[in-house]
Amino acid sequence: MPEPSLSGRVALVTGASRGIGRAAALALAREGASVAVGFGSNSVAAELVVEEVRALGVNAVAIGAELSDAAQAAELVPRTVELLGGVDVVVNNAGISRDNLALRMSDADWRAVIDVDLTAAFVICRAALRPMLKQRWGRIVNVSSVSGVMGNPGQANYSAAKAGLIGMTKALAREVGSRGITVNAVAPGFIETDMTETLDTQLRVRVVQQIPLERMGTADEVAAAIAFLASPQASYISGAVLHVDGGMGA
């Protein structure tokens, strides 16, 4: 059998205790990467993901951080290096939403989403680029959203943060490409996760009607796109936004 494409590499995945983050951690582990499972408050779920990753034959650790605190977010990178010996792949997946119409959106809800969904991703990228530049190799994948591409009513904060991730991705790709580092984004549409499980039946029907493939996606489908962008097969792709949305953004 051929050696897994990320054998010997180390990946940091934020928001990896559930949903897309968990699926991404497992997908990268299947490709041979050791994984730092970043989490916010659910240490029990994170440790379960660590066990799942280790069962695939690679190392894993859980590292907690409150991503609304930029200093804690940045610390994820040196902690990953300390515990796993380096950092080669970063997946900025963690995010929150605080939905409301713009006229009713509080300053606190605006700042909370920008801090976690955009600023934390930036400081993690900035911290990770230091070791990546030295080793002249790295893969960064930022998890944006169809909301950041098309906009979505009631999500001015979330759409702004996710659009900001796309702009940051493109700027960083231009900054660090000469050092063997690629920076890309994935833009998921409606994905079956804990967040979408709470949708009532009528709203779910309306959502699916917007999707050309007539179904929601799965976390594993997004994770496959993330693993691809981290793989050697994607070595000439940088600054791209890979839509995983069933055709919504077409």
Please identify every residue annotated as catalytic.
158
d(CA 95, CA 15) in angstroms, rounded, equals: 7
- Hey, how many other C-beta atoms are within 10 angstroms of the C-beta on 28? 33
- The answer to whether the CB of 224 falls within 8 A of the CB of 218 is no
The single-letter code of the amino acid at 172 is: L
3-state secondary structure of 35: strand
3-state secondary structure of 58: coil
- The answer to whether the CB of 73 falls within 8 A of the CB of 49 is no
- The answer to whether the CB of 182 falls within 8 A of the CB of 140 is yes
- The answer to whether the CB of 146 falls within 8 A of the CB of 187 is yes
- Hey, how many other C-beta atoms are within 10 angstroms of the C-beta on 117? 26
DSSP 128-161: HHHHHHHHT-EEEEEE--HHHHH--TTBHHHHHH
DSSP 62-130: EEE--TTSHHHHHHHHHHHHHHHS---EEEE-------B-GGG--HHHHHHHHIIIIIHHHHHHHHHHH
